[in-house]
Structure 1
């Protein structure tokens, strides 16, 4: 599910030194809703005055997803046998190549001995066939053996060589099978699942131990074509994981296979393991740039459902009700009730309606 918000990219707020304000020429106040502070035209609120400037913001579309580890493996075996040892527990940190589990492989040891005997027999046959070929070739040179006898001896040697190669290949296959009796970590990470204990029966393909590397996370979200038009591989976008703002890098945008939807993959560095895998996440995808007026969040005053700011004028400070737009942790957009160039006040303390006369 997606929702539209605004991400602020630049903030141009000029701080006005002191609390003085140049006097304006005579005239009447603008016809905008406001409440006069302390019923005095010279009332001043203690705080910092800032001038509101035009700036540019990025309109974005937010899409929600889940932060998953890029590297995660459910380890299994090709063997069928009894688990003899499980050397890790859930939550253990493991290194690449570390032994995690062992399976009873005594039958493979016996078969390996048979394969070794087959190799020895094949080597003996090859040696005998090579000796026979050398003898027949010498006789053939002296015209004491026929061509047919030489051809038969050479055929016997070729068969002996092929038999030796087959025996050696069987030994390699046996070594590979025996390696499946030991389950090792394919990369450094954390054990997140231990599905068996010693004495359990391991079947080919059944998950035994799961390891995941949370040092790099991937957020996958779905969005419509209009939302992903501006995205490029390697582009940095804003995101959140469990509500915490993070920077994500676009890994790729691919069709989702359903209507006009696309899958957006973004990666987040997590070497310090600050963010938990499986956490709710959100990616903000920029779609347009629009002008806006931004005010610092501490400058916003509230009264019930009304929101406003303290505007400094030549006649005094006034509380003006405004309409707010999207906000971030530091600033909020004002959609109406305020103009660029006007000065607002950030109160030094929560506004209680009290004020001090301007210095004369």
Structure 2
């Protein structure tokens, strides 16, 4: 794209053959959102990504994406054959250690009674006490093992931590899972927020006047329920995060979707004119670079653009265009017309 920009910029206006008819539109000022807008991503305040805490096979899947669940509802079950067997073994081990501890306690009591009459030595009494203490410790360890085994068995039933909507489902019935593997994720759709990073030079003004407007996908504008400016700046980017909590919306925007936040403090400070907005279809994409074909007389110039947020079928242009520019509606048609003009120029020179 850089070569194309250089080539377009190096053309001479003289002796250019007529340019093929390319549909264009005029860039109009003031079509964007007034004030400075900051891009952010909608995220759920309460979101739980549930992962497997035990190994097994998915025996039952009770929910799917977009299902509403209540707190405590069973989302899925994992086979518990090994876990139940481990719990049974732990219970048997606990019974054995309890019997051994009871026997060691009785033995020590008998030795203690005989020691009063000096029928047993002090060494034998100490050995009986040590055996009793060891048996009690083994019993306590068996109880802990049983609690751990019972917990592993409880991990085979995955329940909703709170009421919400199932966002993702990562496993299917019959699939083998291991600890740490994602299973499902749940979020609360009524509690949403957006975090944006603003320069530290604007943070104080926003903190004094925490009024904002949020532009959601599709162009819907809402007033936030709360604006929180973080007290400290990031040491690397020197920006300050601002958290904007959205009100209860119906329909609610999907977490992960982009949105734009405009602060009244920026508008009152005269933070420039409204950014221009052009159709997304008029943008020519060349790798990571974006551009648009601008018509000037019989010339087509490919200008590099710096784009902002996309709202519906339009995108904001931060730099690269001015009001009054005529932009080709179809970048492909513009490129073809430009190529035809160059071929005609070469044929004329020959």
Same fold (TM over 0.5): yes
Task: Identify which of 186, 206, 222 aligns with 1:246.
Answer: 222
Change (3 A) 1:88 1:260: same
Tell me, what secondary structure is at the counterpart of 2:189? Answer: strand
Give the number of equivalent residue pairs: 234
Q: CA shift at 1:158, angstroms?
A: 0.7
1:196 corresponds, among 154, 160, 171, to 171
CA distance in structure 2 between the aligned counterparts of 1:199 and 1:192, rounded to whole angstroms: 21
The correspondence for 2:237, drawn from 247, 251, 259, is: 259
| Matching of residues 1-360 of structure 1 within 5 Å | 61-232=36-207, 235-242=210-217, 243-248=219-224, 249-253=226-230, 254-270=232-248, 272-287=250-265
Cα contact 2:190–2:252 (8 A) shared by 1: no
**Distance across 2 between alignment mates of 1:79 and 1:261:** 42
Mapped contact 2:200–2:233 kept (Cα < 8 A): no
SS in 2 for 1:79: coil
Compute the displacement of 1:60 (Å).
5.6
Which structure: greater strand fraction? 1
1:212–1:68: structure 2 CA closer, same or farther, 3 Å change rule?
same
Question: 1:143/1:178 Cα in 2 relative to 1: closer, same or farther (>3 Å)?
Answer: same
Task: Please tell me whether the aligned partners of residues 203 and 229 of structure 2 are also in contact (alpha carbons under 8 angstroms).
Answer: no
Aligned equivalents of 1:83 and 1:288: distance in 2?
Answer: 53
Give the conservation status (yes or no) of the 8 Å contact 1:61–1:227. no
With over 3 angstroms needed to count, the CA separation of the structure-2 counterparts of 1:110 and 1:152, relative to structure 1, is same
SS in 2 for 1:166: helix
Report SS of the residue matched to 1:262: strand
Contact persistence 1:218–1:266 (CA under 8 A) = yes
In structure 2, distance between residues paired with 1:134 and 1:157: 10
Relative to structure 1, is the Cα distance of residues 62 and 237 closer, same or farther in structure 2, using a 3 angstrom cutoff?
same
Change (3 A) 1:141 1:213: same
**Aligned mates of 2:162, 2:260 — CA distance in 1:** 28
RMSD: 2.5
Kindly indicate which of the two structures has a greater share of residues assigned to helix: 2
* 1:235 shift after superposition: 4.6
Whether contact under 8 Å (1:215, 1:273) holds in the other structure is no
**CA positional deviation for 1:132:** 0.7
TM-score by length of 2: 0.62
Seen in structure 2, the aligned counterparts of structure 1 residues 289 and 194 have a Cα distance that, compared at 3 Å, is closer
Distance 1:109 1:233 in 2: 60
| 1:291 positional shift | 10
2:200, 2:45 → 1: CA distance? 25
Give the TM-score normalised by the residue count of structure 1: 0.60
- Residues 77 and 142 (structure 1), Cα distance of their counterparts in 2 relative to 1, 3 Å cut: same
Q: Offset at 1:82?
A: 1.0
Q: 1:255-284 CA distances to partner (integer Å, 9 max, x unpaired)? A: 344332222221112265543333332222
d(CA) in 2 for partners of 1:145, 1:232: 82
Task: Identify if the C-alpha distance between structure 1 residues 134 and 100 changes in structure 2 by more than 3 Å, giving closer, same or farther.
Answer: same
Tell me the equivalent position of 1:8: none
User: Structure 1 residues 153, 238: closer, same or farther in 2, change over 3 A?
Assistant: same
Question: Which consecutive unaligned segments of at least 5 residues does structure 1 have?
Answer: 1-58, 293-360
Counterpart Cα distance in 1 of 2:259 and 2:54: 39
